[in-house]
């Protein structure tokens, strides 16, 4: 993880460990890719890790999408079942829409 940004976020959240489960490693990888690409801020990274940590188990084995929206600069992450239709109020910008985060695995 370049510059340790993802690990810094874990330290801030008090979640630094010596060993991580596969799901946590995947979450850190996604977090790192989004931070390094500039798609999300550190604050949004902390929100992302919180959402994924809390709800990832609900989506295990199911096709899902990670969605980041912003309205007036206020971010919100969602994990949704793939293929679900969702609509937003005018002025909401869809920043990230990834089916099982496939685009994050590509270099």
Find out whether 75 and 92 touch, Cβ atoms under 8 Å: no
pLDDT at 1: 46
3-state secondary structure of 84: coil
Question: Could you give the CA distance from residue 77 to residue 66 in angstroms, rounded to a whole number?
Answer: 7
Residue 27 to residues 16, 31, 64, Cα–Cα distance (Å) = 14, 6, 14
Residues of the chain short of pLDDT 50, as ranges, are 1-2, 100, 103, 105-107
pTM above 0.85, yes or no: no
Query: What pLDDT score was predicted for residue 93?
Result: 87
Alpha carbon of 6 to those of 13, 35, 36, 38, 104: distances in Å? Answer: 11, 8, 10, 13, 15
pLDDT of 11 reads: 63
């Amino acid at each position: 993880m370049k510059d340790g940004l993802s690990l810094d976020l874990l330290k801030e959240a008090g979640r630094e460990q010596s060993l991580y489960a596969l799901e946590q490693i995947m979450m850190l990888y996604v977090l790192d890719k989004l931070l390094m690409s500039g798609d999300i801020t550190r604050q949004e990274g902390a929100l992302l890790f919180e959402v994924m940590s809390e709800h990832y188990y609900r989506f295990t084995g199911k096709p899902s999408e990670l969605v980041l929206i912003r309205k007036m600069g206020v971010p919100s992450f969602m994990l949704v079942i793939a293929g679900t239709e969702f609509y937003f109020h005018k002025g909401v910008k869809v920043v990230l829409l990834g089916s099982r985060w496939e685009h994050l695995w590509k270099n």
